[in-house]
Chains A and B, each alone.
Chain A
Amino acid sequence: MEFIMAILAGILFTTGVYNLLQKQLLRIIIGTGLISHGAHLFILTMGELKRGAPPVLSEGIEQYTDPLPQALILTSIVISFGVTSLLLVLAYRASKINGTDNMEQLRGNDYE
């Protein structure tokens, strides 16, 4: 199971990086989304996958799932959710004001 998850995370990373390298702003944002999904799956996998046991450790319970990766992944999901929504709004405003969403034209050499 871990093996499949690792491959899945890898696929998400590659597609994410491919999208990051595009010129269109929206594709880049989708790329960051895919990379963050890959990272989240990765955290879950690294804590070893187990089924049918609660994520609690108390007296009398011997079978339990590691609760820490679940806490980490939850925090990380919330953060990436927030950043992605901010990025979408920012991209919308920027492309509207600059009149383009092509990163080639948003390079900016007008400081000199």
Chain B
Amino acid sequence: MSNLAVLPILLPLLAGIFAAFIHKKTTVVRTVSKMLAVINLLVVGFVFIKVKEQGSIVLEVGGWDAPFGIVLVGDLLSMTLVLTTNIIAVASVFFAPQSLSEKEESYYFYSFFFLLITGVSGAFLTGDLFNLFVFFEVLLMASYGLIVLGNGKVQLRESIKYVLINLFSSMLFVTTIAFLYSVVGTVNMAQIAVRVQEVEQQGILTTIAILLFFVFATKAAVFPLYYWLPRPYISPNPVVSALFGALLTKVGIYSILRTFTLMFNQQVELTHTLFIYLAALTMIFGVIGALSTHNIKLIVAYNIIPAVGFMLMGIGIFTEVSISGTIYYLVHDMIIKGVLFLLAGAIAYVAGTSDLRKMGGLIHHYPVLGWLMFLASLVLAGIPPFSGFIGKLQLIRGGVGEEQVMIIIVALISSLLILFSMIRIFIRGFWGEKTDIPFPERKRRGNLMALPAAALLTLSVLLGVGAEWFFPTIESISQYLMDPEIYIDSVLKE
């Protein structure tokens, strides 16, 4: 038992509260937030290394023994995702002053930002199903604050839909937990995993598993529950979109990954087959959405959906290889979605519009932005040797091993279409005759905006080129997930 596991939750929480007290002094809160975010990243990095060397850290909060109190489980999967979250956080906090107006910054942006990180880290770390619900609410509450920041007409209209769909799925989550509690009599994930094997009526458990999947699928935007996602995600400020696109849906995918490897792994032929079909439909419909629009922000937002399909595909195939693909893709997608939203925000800012039909010839004035966008498109589509390729390779290897031909074909075709949808931004926005620079006064800021995105993109490229170096960690996580006994033993200490 070690208190280290609580640090990734506690530090941003304190930072958020602190930022609320100095919210009016914009320059101070800006600098302090940058510092705090970097410190937070360093601490999380330290905890990650500790976990990697010594194995999972289990913290029984308040000293209550495992099945009765709340536990925080800092295993390698959680810590990898928390580390990635904090990397995105640092990039966003450096991007924020460029894209937000001073007024928006003073309206508690940094508080909400840190509370969002608190919620996301908590959701990754908790070992208690009800506590997962609570952390979902923490991150959603912060996201409600962020999505209305700016108080625009469209923004308010879209945020109502966002709040409503999340409120509804949260209530279903509570109901599902109530169901599960009446069947197994516990909300501790490890103990649920033990008890579900002893339950005689497996039918009711399958119902609960599907209900739980419905809840997480709504958060993760799986077909047919993705319709709410694109528009609320593009209406707020680019930095908020980047945080949402990089982190929020991934929490849903993580929850599916955790619950369906740890707790509901008895009815694989039913639940996981369902996942494969839904993954295929998610990819197809997401990519159609991305192709159907000329709005660059909307193209990027629609591209979240096929990525969710890829990750769900790995969970559906359910072998060690495919799960390692899902984890790799999860880390890759968090980073690259952050990059794309930041870049799309920067491009829309310098061009003065997000409609591709009104752009053109930007490469003459913004070569850095243009080439970054091009590189990011390649990384997203999975051109070797970039990181998207490694994740997809593992997923398809897993699919070949289980002879799932249909999903492989769908995955490959949708990859190609993703590339096409992204390259359209480059062709329509950047190619073309040299025209007068739109909004010359925005040039300096626009190039400053490219910096955090470039840093993240470098990391993403490293993740692909240096795959040899990262892969053993990912593979050990996947072995760990396929053997739930290790998790159960580390929590319940039998």
Chain A residues engaging chain B, CB cutoff 8 angstroms: 20, 25, 28, 32, 35-36, 38-40, 42-43, 45-47, 68-69, 72, 75-76, 79-80, 82-83, 86-87, 90-91, 93-94, 97-98, 106, 108, 110-112
Contacts and interface: CB of A to CB of B under 8 A. Distances in A.
B175 interface: yes
A32 B164 contact: yes
B171 A93 contact: no
Given A42-B178, A43-B178, A82-B141, A108 B171 contact: no
18 contacts: A32-B168, A39-B171, A39-B172, A43-B178, A68-B187, A72-B130, A82-B141, A83-B137, A83-B140, A86-B144, A86-B163, A87-B160, A87-B163, A93-B151, A94-B157, A106-B160, A110-B154, A111-B295
Contact of B167 (A47, A83, A91, A110): A83
Contacts, number: 105
A68 B181 contact: yes
Given A39-B178, A90-B148, 9 more contacts: A32-B167, A36-B171, A39-B175, A40-B174, A69-B178, A79-B134, A97-B151, A98-B156, A111-B234
B205 to A, nearest CB: 15
A-B CB proximity, top 6 nearest: A46-B182, A94-B156, A46-B178, A43-B178, A39-B174, A39-B175
A70 to B, nearest CB: 12
B294 interface: yes
B156 A97 contact: yes
Given A32-B167, A35-B171, A111 B293 contact: yes
Contacts of B175: 38-39, 42-43
Contacts of B167: 32, 36, 80, 83, 87
Contacts of A40: 174
A76 B181 CA distance: 15
Interface string B150-181: 01011011111001100110111011011101
Contact of A112 (B140, B157, B170, B294): B294
Contacts of B164: 20, 28, 32, 87
Nearest to A41: B178
Given A108-B158, A111-B295, A111-B298, A43 B163 contact: no
B130 A97 contact: no
B231 interface: yes
Question: Which among A20, A42, A47, A98 has the greatest number of chain B C-beta atoms within 10 A?
Answer: A42
A42 B294 CA distance: 46
Task: Identify whether the interface residues of A are mostly helix, strand, loop, or mixed.
Answer: helix
Given A35-B168, A42-B175, A43-B174, A97 B181 contact: no
B266 to A, nearest CB: 22
B181 A43 contact: yes
Question: Which among B130, B153, B171 has the greatest number of chain A C-beta atoms within 10 A?
Answer: B171
Contact of B231 (A35, A68, A108): A108
Interface string B275-294: 00000000000000000011
Contacts of B130: 72, 75
Contacts of A45: 178
Interface of B: 130, 133-134, 137, 140-141, 144, 148, 151, 153-154, 156-160, 163-164, 167-168, 170-172, 174-175, 177-179, 181-182, 187, 231, 234, 293-295, 298
A90 B159 contact: yes
Nearest to B166: A83
A107 B352 CA distance: 25
A47 B159 contact: no
A25 B153 contact: no
A10 to B, nearest CB: 11
A79 B137 contact: yes
A87 B151 CA distance: 14
A42 B179 CA distance: 8
Contact of B181 (A32, A69, A80): A69
Given A43-B178, A43-B181, A112-B293, A90 B141 contact: no
Contacts of B134: 75, 79
A32 B148 CA distance: 20
A47 B182 contact: yes
Nearest to A92: B156
Contacts of A25: 160
A97 B171 contact: no
Contacts of A68: 181, 187
A68 B64 CA distance: 14
Given A75-B134, A108-B231, A32 B156 contact: no
A69 B182 CA distance: 10
Nearest to B183: A46
Contacts of A83: 137, 140-141, 144, 163, 167, 170
A46 B160 CA distance: 32
B326 to A, nearest CB: 30
A35 to B, nearest CB: 5
A83 B227 CA distance: 22
B177 A98 contact: no
A46 B420 CA distance: 51
A35 B295 CA distance: 36
A80 to B, nearest CB: 7
Given A32-B164, A32-B171, A111-B293, A98 B181 contact: no
A97 B156 CA distance: 8
A104 B491 CA distance: 50
